[in-house]
Amino acid sequence: MGTSWNEEGTSFYSLSCQDRRHSKHIHDNVHGNIYLDPFFLKLVDTEQFQRLRDLKQLGLTHMVYPGAVHSRFEHSLGVYWLAGEAVHTIKAHQGSEINIERNDIRTVKLAGLLHDVGHGPFSHLFEREFLPRVLKGSKWSHEDMSVRMIDYIVDAHYIEIDSAILKNVKEMVLASSETASQKIMSEKRFLYDIVANGRNGIDVDKFDYIVRDSRACGLGCNFQFQRLLETMRVMGDEICYRAKDYLTIHKLFATRADLHRTVYTHAKVKAIELMVVDALTLANDELSISASIHEPAKFCKLDDSILRQIETSDKQELKKARDLILRIRRRDLYQFCNEYSVPKDKQENFKDITPQDIVCSQENGGTTLKEEDVTVSVVKIDLTRGSSNPLESIKFFQDYESDYKFPIRDDGISHLLPTFCQDMIVRVYSKKPELVGAVSEAFENFQLKTYGMKAQVHDTPEKKKRRK
């Protein structure tokens, strides 16, 4: 027997948001008790959703921040819960004027629950670094895969759900992706901005991971999403915010950027990621890792344990990949040489820098570098909209007596806010510790040729250059 969206005793129609007698509660370390009624529990108790327990939310970050071992399982439950809180709040304050129905609430919650079910291993490394290397021109995204996985789960477990509702769920999951439908014509367009907001980036996905990631890494977080959840208001077809909450919203984007700088793209985290990408690439032909993206049945068996599978194999074909993973275990990492921030006026026409660029900048007479000795990482950190300010896309209102919505310019609030919204950082690593000096010198020469000066803030420490 399958599970039905409208099944008596388990359906939305027999449960109000206050009636939790038939719900299962899970205690979450961020949001407290999270309640799942039998319909949502049926989805959670599938092997496809349970797979998320084996995907660390922050990928390899736990090798630098040991507490960052939380998974996409608890994050998905958190987004499910906040999605429900958001739409319940709107209904409580504006239900009579915008007619939020019970199916609307469940649709948004379902999108929140399943938004990451198609995620690959090691956070975003899988789709942004590994796949483009082994599948040239790959445009695969976890959002697209989540949509395919949703269909797969519904079919495999005989879950009865109205096709129009399922379509809305999938459109909500895709709402902030590059493949988001441009034809979402709904009288309740604002519902599509709750889980993954493609219009201005304020969504409950960020509300959850910013607080959850900060806590797991032992960092303070003074962004309070509750303030925005409690005071937001639907005006026209979009969610608007009180003008007095402008700085709270700025803090959302600033905190996210700070997490990217200090945690997600930490220089040592990136070193480990570069090594894992190399290991996965070496193992790809033997294990057909990239081939799994074409079939949901195979993809749902792919998780972070792929590293363990490689290092415990005795196959000769995996020896090079095994050796790299062993280096990671022994902390014999690619060595960070130096970095520089790309000047603002050079970012728009920035051309990717390759190991060849660095190697070709070495001077004659010294150690001869090869391309395979060097790896380059270009890190982009922004406020979610590249060099654009996401706050320019947000509408505000003065108070609850006003029906007028308006944008706010940064300089109308404070002159201390940044005038540029994107950093681009070029980092160079040596794959061998004894080559740090030669790679660092070549990197400096590259900067001199490119910008007429050394753009890096300081020289590579002599102690690191002398390491053997």
- Between strands 238-242 and 396-397, the pairing is parallel
Task: Round to whole Å and give the CA distance between 134 and 281.
Answer: 7
Does residue 142 carry a catalytic annotation?
yes
Give me the count of residues in the chain.
Answer: 468
Burial 436-450 (b: 16+ CB within 10 A, else e): bbbbbbbbbbbbeeb
Q: Is the domain defined by 334-383+421-467 classed in CATH 3.30.70.2760?
A: yes
- Catalogue the long-range contacts made by 462-465 (C-beta closer than 8 Å, 24 or more residues apart): 464/335, 464/337, 464/436, 465/436, 465/437, 465/440
The one catalytic residue in 31, 115, 142, 250 is 142
Q: Tens place of pLDDT for every residue, the chain, 468 residues?
A: 566 666 533 333 333 444 677 789 999 999 999 999 999 999 999 999 999 999 999 999 999 999 999 999 999 999 999 999 999 999 999 988 898 999 999 999 999 999 999 999 999 999 999 999 999 989 999 999 999 999 999 999 999 999 999 999 999 999 988 766 655 656 799 999 999 999 999 999 999 999 999 999 999 898 999 999 999 999 999 999 999 999 999 999 999 999 999 999 999 999 999 999 999 999 999 999 999 999 999 999 999 999 999 999 999 999 999 999 999 999 999 999 999 999 999 999 999 999 999 999 998 877 899 999 999 999 999 988 888 888 999 999 999 999 999 999 877 777 778 878 899 999 999 999 999 999 999 999 999 999 999 999 888 888 887 776
**Extents of the domains making up the chain:** 20-267, 334-383+421-467
The answer to whether the CB of 132 falls within 8 A of the CB of 140 is: no
Q: Find the helix or strand (DSSP H, E) in which 341 lies.
A: strand 335-341
Task: Round to whole Å and give the CA distance between 321 and 281.
Answer: 8
Best CATH choice for the domain 20-267 from the list 2.40.30.30, 1.10.3210.10, 3.40.50.720, 3.50.30.50: 1.10.3210.10
